[in-house]
Amino acid sequence: MGFFDKLFKKNEPEQVVQEISKAAVPVYPMIKNAEWKGMHLAKALPFLMVGDQLDLAVVFAQDAGDRFQYITEADLQQPDIAENFNQWKDNINEYPYDIELGESFGNRIIFASGEDHSAEKILSAAFLAEACRALNTDKLVISIPRRRCLMLTSYHEDFNMLETFFYLHFIAWREEQYGNEPITEMIFLANKDKVEYAVPLGFRINLYEKDGQRLLSYSTMDELFDENEQINFQKIMEQNKIAVSL
């Protein structure tokens, strides 16, 4: 499977309308942008506040064949549904995934994309621990720009690897043809146990051609580097990080 197919693969569900038992069908977390139209209807836990504004929330989905149904506050008044809902952490820990190390990137970038709840694996301590082991690191940089998209690399990578990672992140953020719902242009920082911070990078990376060469360019309103310095991505991430709340 090619890189972009792996990154953007969309699972097409069978078009089968079915009624489900909210007390029986597994419940999975789903990270949603605050602009999601169903936010006021679903049970939602704040995930990222920017100032006093909600930016990202976690809602709770159940597979209903051709669509997802969402747990509501009213649902949780029923003890059997509440008991099923309380299994969501176990469910995301156990949700299947494949860790694929990108050979063309020196096995320093993990791709674990393509499934309905790929992005939400960042809420699984077991997954984060395995990713840290695979990359031999104690700290991860994570990209979940769209539904079913997940990339990870080590926080401690050098400039060239992090630049490549961020460029791939922005490709995924801009890509709409696969139909994957946007989540966030921010990236995340995590240790082996949990996601700790979201980071608005303050720049974008684009590709252009000049004199037959393919070059990367930055667009930003901020100062990224001094005249005699290379961009320090770790410094940018530390300056801009915002604690997540889940």
Tokens of 230: 């290379």
Report the pLDDT averaged over residues 16-36. Answer: 89
**Residues 31 and 64 placed together within one structural domain of the fold:** yes
Of the candidates 178, 159, 179, which has an alpha carbon nearest to the alpha carbon of residue 167?
A: 159
Q: Choose one of 93, 113, 143: the last residue of a domain.
A: 93
Q: Choose one of 46, 72, 93: the last residue of a domain.
A: 93
Cα dihedral sign, 167-170-176-179: positive
Tokens of 49: 């506040």
Stretch among 13-22, 49-58, 103-112 having the lowest mean pLDDT: 13-22
**Residues 179 and 208 placed together within one structural domain of the fold:** yes
User: Could you give the number of structural domains in the chain?
Assistant: 2
**Residues 70 and 105 placed together within one structural domain of the fold:** no
Tokens of 160: 């060239």
Q: Is residue 166 part of a domain?
A: yes
DSSP string, 123-152: G-HHHHHHHHHHHT-S-EEEE--BTT--EE
Provide the pLDDT for residue 143.
Answer: 98
Residue range 172-230, pLDDT digits in tens: 999 888 678 999 999 999 999 999 999 999 988 887 666 566 678 888 756 665 555 67
Residue 180's Cα: distance from chain center in Å?
Answer: 12
3-state secondary structure 169-213: HHHHHHCCCCCCCECCCCEEEECCCCEEEEECCCEEEEEEEECCE
Distance CA 151, CA 224 (A): 24
Q: Is residue 36 part of a domain?
A: yes
**Residues 122 and 63 placed together within one structural domain of the fold:** no
Residue range 39-63, pLDDT digits in tens: 999 999 999 999 999 999 999 999 9
**Residues 23 and 122 placed together within one structural domain of the fold:** no
Provide the pLDDT for residue 96.
Answer: 87
Q: Choose one of 67, 93, 119: the last residue of a domain.
A: 93
Provide the pLDDT for residue 225.
Answer: 57
Provide the pLDDT for residue 5.
Answer: 52
Q: Is residue 38 part of a domain?
A: yes
Q: Is residue 2 part of a domain?
A: no
- DSSP designation for 78: S
Of the candidates 214, 215, 213, 217, which has an alpha carbon nearest to the alpha carbon of residue 231?
A: 217
Q: 35 in helix, strand or coil? A: coil
Residues, the chain = 246
**Residues 67 and 168 placed together within one structural domain of the fold:** no
What strands, in cross-sheet order, belong to the sheet with 140-143?
100-101, 109-111, 151-154, 140-143, 187-190, 195-199, 242-243
Regarding pTM above 0.95, the answer is: no
Phi/psi at 58 (nearest 5 deg)? -110, 120
Residue 110 has pLDDT above 80, yes or no: yes
Q: Is residue 73 part of a domain?
A: yes
Distance CA 235, CA 238 (A): 5
Report the pLDDT averaged over residues 70-96. Answer: 96
**Residues 131 and 80 placed together within one structural domain of the fold:** no
Of the candidates 214, 215, 146, which has an alpha carbon nearest to the alpha carbon of residue 175?
A: 146
Residue span of the structural domain in which 41 resides: 13-93
| Percent of residues, the chain, with pLDDT higher than 90 | 70
Provide the pLDDT for residue 216.
Answer: 81
**Residues 219 and 115 placed together within one structural domain of the fold:** yes
